[in-house]
Amino acid sequence: MLTKLCSLALVMIMAASVSAAEQSSVPKTFSAYIGGFNGPTYLVELRDGALLYTSGEHRQQEHKVITPTSAQWREFRQTLDELVVWQWRPDYTNASSADGTQWRLSLDYPDRGLRSQGSNDFPKHFDRYLAAVRKLLDGEEFR
């Protein structure tokens, strides 16, 4: 009887650990934007566990709610860690160009967070970050 109770307790502890690990792969806050003056814009915001995705031209924007799976969130976090986004500077601005592409990223996990933005300048491997966001959005545009 004691062995069965110990086994049951161990299974419950392992299940709680997996659930906690899945929870930690979902950020507490997440907002990402990219766009330009004369082109489409893309905005992603985490709200109540789902992503509110806004895309389109300034006057004709579409909204969509996307709920990533636990696996998608884990892969996204893994990519952020591989890209060492936690070391991105707060600002990447090319002052020699007024028009072009503006972007920003704001996210918080229990163990770290980031606020970074730019205008016509980007951190190293920024294209891989954009691809990771697109995967999180089930292939929706984010460029």
pLDDT in tens, 92-117: 999 898 788 999 999 999 999 999 99
Instruction: State which H helix or E strand residue 73 sits in.
Output: helix 70-82
Q: Classify residue 93 as left (phi > 0), alpha (psi -120 to 50) or beta.
A: beta
Higher pLDDT, 6 or 63: 63
* Residue of 51, 52, 54, 57 lying closest to 36 (CA atoms): 57
Are residues 132 and 80 in contact, defined by beta-carbon separation less than 8 angstroms? Answer: yes
Packed helices 126-136 and 70-82: angle between N→C axes, nearest 10 degrees: 170
User: What is the per-residue pLDDT across 59-78, written as a single tens digit (0 to 9) for each?
Assistant: 899 999 999 999 999 999 99
The domain covering 27-136 belongs, at the CATH homologous superfamily level, to: Mago nashi (3.30.1560.10)
Distance CA 130, CA 143 (A): 6
Higher pLDDT, 38 or 51: 51
Domain positions in the chain: 27-136
72, amino acid identity? Q
Strands 91-93, 113-119: pairing kind = parallel
Q: What is the pLDDT of residue 1?
A: 53
Are residues 141 and 52 in contact, defined by beta-carbon separation less than 8 angstroms? Answer: no
Q: What is the pLDDT of residue 97?
A: 83
Q: What angle do CA 56, 62, 23 make, to 5 degrees?
A: 105
